[in-house]
A and B are shown apart, each in its own frame.
Chain A
Amino acid sequence: MEFRKHTLDNGLEIVAECSPHAYSAALGFFVKTGSRDESDANHGVSHFLEHMAFKGTATRSAADVNRELDEIGSHSNAYTSEEQTVYFAAFLPEYQAQAVELLSDILRPALRPADFETEKLVILEEIAKYEDQPPFGAHEKCMAAHFGSHPLARSILGTAASVTGLTCDQMMEYFRQRYSPRNIVLVASGNVDFDALVALADRCCGRWPPFDAPRETHRAPPHRGLQVVHKPAAVQQYVVQISNGPALEDEDRYAGRLLATVLGDDSGSRMFWELVDPGCAETAAMGACEYQGTGLLMTQLCCAPEDTAENYARIRDLLAEADADGVTDEELAQAKSKIRSYIVLQSERPVNRLFAVGGNWITRRRYRTVREVIDSYLRVSRDDVAAVLKKYPLTEHTTVAVGPLQDADQIVGA
């Protein structure tokens, strides 16, 4: 594997992890923009714009874009997060040129008003789909409560009201503020011809006008609180709890992830043995999530409403115990073994490496090999985990419950 990089005159960076023996290649434009870069007035625009990129360009209709992506047999898609909008395709190496040309073109979408109105209906359906799906918005509601006035409080999809109110002009304006070549990285992995990639990217993207696209990245203040959302039609009760954690740029993020694995991995963790293995809960899990300038540890619980208070108390005790005593050497070794194996297995597919390389570059402007990432985990000690717990106490959290229960007492106990 060889890491290559190049910067076009307009600031667009091109980075690639080239593996000449891979069966496939993957390519993605990583745009450093997402829901945290929105305002109340254009809430949901990042994700909506991601959809509109597939609705045609100056020279292609929506049908052309879809047809051509299929003609090269690609597995292509896009996603929007709080911080990134990523357009990507995995394909066989002989289609590299078509893939570069096509993905570059959709990064300059036509944003036609008629397409905008039709696609708005699709987004509203997507919002309705998630409303119907467990955990019934508990995650978004907890992010909103935890982050308060911080930009990360905004949900990625937006709300039915905010999306309905969006105009095509607002989207154009957002595009003009965020889709600067200085704010985009073209990432490739697998069996890539890097020199050809650079030459073609220069032709396709070299004239995109550059400008600054700054982002507000202040750290979120810790919040506490409990919110209960009544949903009588649900069978199970869903509880999401967020506490602060290491940010993307913090070295202690590896310790944070290992901590989450020890406490709340979906198998072999403390929450697994205490709640899932005995069948007290369908889900009791913890994960770490990092953003620029801030991060979080999120616990999720799904169980029968009548068992919620008891399960909640068990989780509260587990978290308090971790805050006080940390983790054991044995637990840490097991978590390292799991994460190491997971990283190795994931790295066998170029498309997975695309997200690892792209995510790292867009947030930290660094390339790290699989080995380097694994070593960062292996170096974590019990003391490092204890330091994370001291800095970000798990017992300080924001909680949202969604389901048949109506009162806070039914969740946290009288």
Chain B
Amino acid sequence: MSQPIYTHQFENGLVLIAEPMDWLESAAFSLLVPAGCSRDRDDRLGLASLTCEMVQRGCGSRDSRQFVSDLEMLGADTSASVATAHCSYGGAMPAESLLETLAIYADVVRRPHLPSDQLEDARQVCIQEIRSIEDDLAQKAFQELRWLQYGNPLGRSSPGTLGGIEAAVEDDVRHFFQATYRPNGAILSVAGKFAWPRLRDRAAELFADWPAQPLPDVEDSPIAERIRHLPQESSQTHIGISYPSVPYSHPDYYDARAAVGVLSDGMSSRLFTEVRENRGLCYAVQAYCHSLRDRGCVLCYAGTTTERAQETLEVVLAELQKLAAGIAQDELDRLKAKLKSSLIMQQESSPARSNSIAADWYHLGRVQMVDEVRAIIDGLSREQINLYLASHPPRDFRIVTVGEKPLEIPVGIS
């Protein structure tokens, strides 16, 4: 029972998309501005994150304490994060708080104070994050893997580097803000309980006079290195493997997604069965599709004790390569049941739908309704997926290991 999705594009380029979910008492929003880490200067890696931290330290008529306290009194559970292309602000709240919360976020992205006396505090917050990732070995493996897969700047990790964060001065933050916080390329999505005319009118008051500015393209360059080992005293070896795949906007995307689902979705998936159930090599093993606007990849992770890491790497790689031979009908049937139930359960969560429609707009320039996605899932066929796999077999692997010993990479793998 999907409902219509409302769309409104303002003259300055900002897109407002909204999906009514009248059966909920909540509403959620996502506000994406084109201020992702791919726009960091090479000598200021982490500037997007530092700017994201700074814009939340007072905006409009509120200082930083008032900002947090007003959001909490509205019952808004909010978050902010920096990704490759965007900085995203979002939150879920009781439906009646939506418009007031949006007004606060209009101040965040348009009228932040960027207070000089808080720059050092914000810098320290960013440094804490970088240091903490050093202790999270699985995340560290993923960070390196994305770098090898996508290169500079698309494979960067958003927290940046200690050098970049330490070098940043007040003007860097100001310039980054002025250059990237803009309506063209920005997306505001809302899902949950709301009245469309009021939402559209309020959004117009808040954002319609936000001036557009040109947004330069991001140049990118690949990385030649394909295998990397980071020595680390640890109990487990953390293995990350990636290979190229089609992006979300590609007509074959759902075939690629289904193939990865057979590998990793559910307890009867191939990786879970072969690596964990049959051999007991891992507690955690998984693979999933990752997509940028014009390219994508499959990211795979396994964590295993040092002495069993070589076998784990070989078993995972063998499963990835075996995928080229195709999938079975019963595997596809189970996957369809799982994908469909996930899709329907998304309708019980306003933040899930809000994120999903914002991502749709960014990747596709339109929103896929729940019924449309359901039809795509119903239409998936084993023949089509196997044709896709035959022409796009998993290969050109990038491999990152974090642990006590480097592993031997089987010949012909990368």
Contact = CB atoms under 8 A, between A and B. Distances in A.
A379 interface: no
A66 B291 CA distance: 29
A277 B121 contact: yes
A67 B331 CA distance: 9
B234 A72 contact: no
Contact of B23 (A21, A268, A340): A21
Contacts, number: 186
Contacts of A304: 128, 131
B356 to A, nearest CB: 15
A71 B333 contact: yes
Contacts of A342: 77
A112 interface: no
Interface string B331-345: 001110111111011
Nearest to A121: B280
B19 to A, nearest CB: 15
Contacts of B68: 267-268
Contacts of A182: none
Interface string B115-136: 0000011111111110110111
B283 A348 contact: no
A151 to B, nearest CB: 25
Contact of B94 (A65, A92, A341): A341
A236 B132 contact: yes
A337 B72 contact: yes
Interface in A97-131: 118-126, 128-129, 131
Given A70-B268, A235-B135, A341-B77, A279 B283 contact: no
A344 B25 contact: yes
Of listed A69, A122, A233, residue having the most chain B CB within 10 A: A122
Contacts of B345: 23-24, 75, 90, 349
A71 B337 contact: yes
Contacts of B13: none
Given A21-B23, A233-B233, A125 B337 contact: no
Nearest to B234: A132
A120 B122 contact: no
Given A273-B65, A279-B127, A334-B69, A125 B132 contact: no
Contacts of A281: 128
A52 to B, nearest CB: 12
A129 B301 CA distance: 13
Contacts of B286: none
Contacts of A21: 23
A168 B399 CA distance: 38
B277 A63 contact: yes
A69 B284 contact: no
B26 interface: yes
B77 to A, nearest CB: 7
Contacts of B25: 344, 348
Contact of A349 (B23, B132, B265, B348): B348
A134 B132 CA distance: 9
A315 B131 CA distance: 21
B301 to A, nearest CB: 11
Interface string B317-353: 0000000000000000111011111101101111000
A235 B333 CA distance: 46
A338 interface: yes
A126 B283 contact: yes
Given A67-B334, A341-B77, A129 B344 contact: no
Contacts of B195: none
Contact of B236 (A24, A91, A129): A129
Contact of B348 (A22, A121, A128, A279): A22
Nearest to B134: A235
Contacts of A334: 69, 72-73
A125 B272 contact: no
B72 A267 contact: yes
B237 to A, nearest CB: 10
B128 A125 contact: no
Contacts of A348: 24-26, 348-350
A349 B351 CA distance: 12
Interface in A322-336: 333-334
A345 B338 contact: no
Interface residues of A, number: 67
Contacts of A67: 268, 334
B282 interface: yes
B143 interface: no
A254 B281 CA distance: 43
Given A23-B347, A125-B236, A337 B75 contact: yes
A76 B94 CA distance: 29
A62 B277 contact: yes
Nearest to B341: A73
A66 B24 contact: no
A359 to B, nearest CB: 20
Interface string B256-293: 00000000011111001100111111111000000000
Nearest to A280: B124
Contact of A282 (B132, B267, B304): B132
B132 A24 contact: no
A7 to B, nearest CB: 30
A276 interface: yes
A410 interface: no
B124 A132 contact: no
B97 to A, nearest CB: 8
A125 B282 contact: yes
B14 interface: no
Contacts of A279: 120-128
A70 B305 contact: no
A305 B120 CA distance: 19
B65 to A, nearest CB: 7
Nearest to A276: B125
A174 to B, nearest CB: 21
B235 interface: yes
Contacts of A234: 135
Interface of B: 23-26, 64-65, 68-69, 72-77, 92-94, 120-129, 131-132, 134-138, 232-236, 238, 265-269, 272-273, 276-284, 303-305, 333-335, 337-342, 344-345, 347-350
8 tightest A-B CB contacts, nearest first = A279-B124, A341-B75, A121-B280, A73-B337, A73-B341, A66-B267, A282-B128, A126-B283
10 contacts: A66-B273, A92-B340, A122-B280, A129-B235, A134-B132, A136-B135, A235-B134, A268-B68, A337-B73, A338-B75
Given A23-B348, A70-B265, A348-B26, 8 more contacts: A67-B268, A70-B268, A118-B277, A122-B282, A128-B305, A235-B134, A344-B25, A344-B94
Interface of A: 21-24, 54, 62-63, 65-67, 69-76, 90-92, 118-126, 128-129, 131-134, 136, 232-236, 267-268, 273, 276-282, 302-304, 333-334, 337-338, 340-342, 344-345, 348-350
